[in-house]
Structure 1
Amino acid sequence: MAMIEEQLPDRIFENPGVTLRPISEGAEKWLYRPIQCLDHGFVYLVDYTGTDLSVVDAARVSYGQGTKSVNTAEGLIRYLRRHVHTSPSEMVEVKFHCKMPIVVARQWVRHRTANINEYSGRYSEMLDEFYLPALDDIKAQAKDNKQGRGDELPLDIRQEVRTRFAEGYRRQYEDYKWFLDVGVAKEIARLGLPVANYTQWYWKIDLHNLMHFLRLRLDSHAQYEIRVYGEAMARIIKDAFPLSFGAFEDYQLHAISFSRLELDVLNANQWPMSRIKADRVVSAGIANKREQAEFIAKLQKLNFVL
């Protein structure tokens, strides 16, 4: 027994009170505190297992030493994140209750590393709640991006779009209720409802895969409607696991990586340079036009393009 105890983290002997599980004060303050998202949605933290120190303990089990101090914990967490050693972060899990439009849920569920239990439209009536975009969020199709928004639309067009959305939602939900009233099964009656209808689920995921989700969904190119949920979860995770989230921000979220072709262009030229010259040297070294544009954007962040 003594040999086993020697391998346990010192902190579990310091406060033998209500629980021996590691507690994150930052996570505790977010439990069951909803953050509103869009017009009818929300995100809140239901539960969590582990803390930043749990990541460290998992990493150090390979040589049998528990966490010694927060300072060394931060250094190790940053090392793990910097060198993409991800399995220790997978030992920490979080569980959210989320309510979102079905169109957002369909994007969200593409992240297949989570456990999900969703509201059942076969068992329960679908909610009379639909996402109605704000006027500022109704824009034209982007000219250079087949899946994004672009320029502003005239105000009268945007107002008419909202009016037609609202009227359509009302008619579709009235039809849905009529189907139910005449005895149509819920699983069939719901077929006429739009993807703007709200659903909700419990969503459980480990910390590493949550950060991967956030890296994609916090990006400026992500659809606004799902980015709102990413921002809400990021607020919670930043408080719950500050050391891990800080390393994630520094080495992934706000970092820049370069391909071999990009490094070749960087090493072969003197920087900074004008935009005209940069376009010329980049196109000479990289054939794909989208890659060229992405590389120019990186160079602009570094102030390498004047």
Structure 2
Amino acid sequence: MFDFIKTQVIGVTTPTVDFIPTAEDLPAFCARVSNPDNQKNFDTAAGLLKYCMRVGHWSVFDMSNIVIEIEAPRDIARQVLRHSSIKFQEFSQRYAVAQNFVIREARLQDTKNRQNSIDTENNYLQEAWKLKQEQVLNLVRENYQWALDSGIAKECARVILPEGNTMSYMYANGTVRQWITYLKVRDDLGVTQKEHVDLARKIKPAIIAHFPFLEELMEK
């Protein structure tokens, strides 16, 4: 019911010369700029990139970009936008009508860690919270549509839309280095909000599909 966050890689820096086989091989090729005799040794590319990551030779990972499509509630999208090194293009409620809304789960406040929330098996609480949100959304949909039908500008009508129940779409463009940093920061349940952790954990395999060397390292 609450699995509404979606993501996919829609673009990766791709070599335009025939002798660089894959997207993963491009940063390895660039890493060997000072060793031209061995620059086309792609058999050890993954090992080289793992080494660069372990010892902190981060500039290598600035040589490739990844563009990711993200679908998430606006409150989570706001958290993603805080990663200012990554560049974003987001769905605008000024120009288009918001149509997709979601119901969110109830979790309990962690009294020992204000950054954390705790899953609850209280079905009554979940159903009651669902009902409260549905009541809000029914009223919002009615009044939002009334505003649009009355000729009120979308940029004005949107002010009544609830951030946490309104879905947003964005494209996020970052270097491999920036995405590694993002995943290290956001795949941290108990520090990062649960929904954002879910997003990070969906982004991770999408990136690893294009940069397999990351799989082993990102598990640590």
TM-score (norm 1): 0.64
Q: Which has the higher helix share?
A: 1
Percent identity over the alignment is: 25
Which one of the candidate residues 84, 107, 117 is aligned to 2:89?
117
Q: 2 CA distance for matches of 1:151 and 1:87?
A: 40
Q: Give the CA deviation at 1:147.
A: 2.4
Q: Deviations over 1:101-146 (max 9, x none)?
A: 001101111111112111111111112x223124xxx221111111
Give the alignment of 1:261-300 within 5 angstroms: none
Q: CA RMSD of the aligned region, Å? A: 1.9
Deviations 1:56-111 (A, max 9, x none): 111111333413132x2233112201111111111111112211100110111111
1:1-306 equivalence runs, <5 A: 38-50=2-14, 51-65=23-37, 66-70=39-43, 72-127=44-99, 129-134=100-105, 138-150=106-118, 152=120, 154-195=122-163, 196-221=165-190, 222-243=192-213, 245-246=214-215, 248-249=217-218, 254=220
- Measured in 2, the distance between the counterparts of 1:173 and 1:67 equals 58
Larger Rg: 1
Aligned length: 209
d(CA) in 1 for partners of 2:92, 2:131: 29
Give the whole-Å Cα distance in 2 for the aligned partners of 1:118 and 1:205: 15
Question: Comparing both chains, which one has the higher relative contact order based on Cα–Cα distances under 8 Å and sequence gaps of 6 or more?
Answer: 2
Report the secondary structure of 1:100's partner residue.
strand
Give the unaligned 5+ runs of structure 2. Answer: 15-22
1:38 offset after TM fit, Å? 4.7
TM-score by length of 2: 0.88
Matches of 2:59 and 2:142, distance apart in 1:
49
SS in structure 2 of the partner of residue 130 of structure 1: coil
Counterpart residue type for residue 30 of structure 2: A
Structure 2: distance between partners of 1:122 and 1:151: 35
Check 1:39–1:175 CA distance in 2 against 1; reply closer, same or farther (3 A cut).
farther
Q: Is the 8 A contact 1:98 1:203 kept in 2?
A: yes
Unmatched runs of 5 consecutive residues or more in structure 1: 1-36, 255-306
**Which stretch of structure 1 is more off in the superposition, 152-161 or 233-242?**
152-161
Q: Would you say the 8 A contact 2:28–2:42 is kept in 1?
A: no
Report the residue type matching 1:213 in the other structure: Y
1:150 Cα deviation after fit: 2.8
Contact kept, 8 Å, 1:48 with 1:92, in 2: the verdict is: yes
Contact 2:5 2:198 in 1 (8 A): no
Paired residue secondary structure (1:81): helix
Q: How far off is 1:185 after superposition? A: 1.0
CA distance in 1, matches of 2:115, 2:34: 45
In the alignment, is the contact (CA less than 8 A) between 2:183 and 2:204 conserved in 1? yes
Q: Is the 8 A contact 1:41 1:99 kept in 2?
A: yes
AA paired with 1:201? M
